[in-house]
Amino acid sequence: QKMAIERGIAVNGQLRRYDLLVYDNKMQPWMLIECKAPRTKLSDRVFEQVGIYNWFDQGLKVPYLLITNGISAICSRVDYEDQKWCLLDALPVWGED
């Protein structure tokens, strides 16, 4: 199994739920996906939500973050050294990292 759906994670001492976590071939967290309703505008605020799950406490430390509302999607690669994310023009290919 290379995905986990709707699991809990500790964020600043509180239990939060992420929507989808994709693992790489070595079963390391690869992409964290946050799914929103189609009427939800994909914004910095929504992107920060998934980013928080990745950074704090026992953060997942995935290389990729993705948000989608089923109509559009925004994906980024995480730069841990500079503590920021870089938006991608296309989705990364699983297994090519």
The span from the CA of 56 to the CA of 88, in Å, is 23
Strand, helix or coil for residue 95? coil
Rg (CA), the chain: 13
- 89: which DSSP letter? S
pLDDT in tens, 25-54: 999 989 999 999 999 999 888 877 777 766
pLDDT in tens, 51-96: 776 665 456 788 999 999 999 999 999 888 887 778 899 999 887 7
pLDDT in the model for residue 96: 73
Whether 65 and 91 have beta carbons less than 8 Å apart is answered as no
Q: Kindly compute the dihedral angle of the four CA atoms of residues 6, 10, 11, 15, in this order, to the nearest 10 degrees.
A: 60
Q: Which helix (H) or strand (E) holds 3?
A: strand 3-11
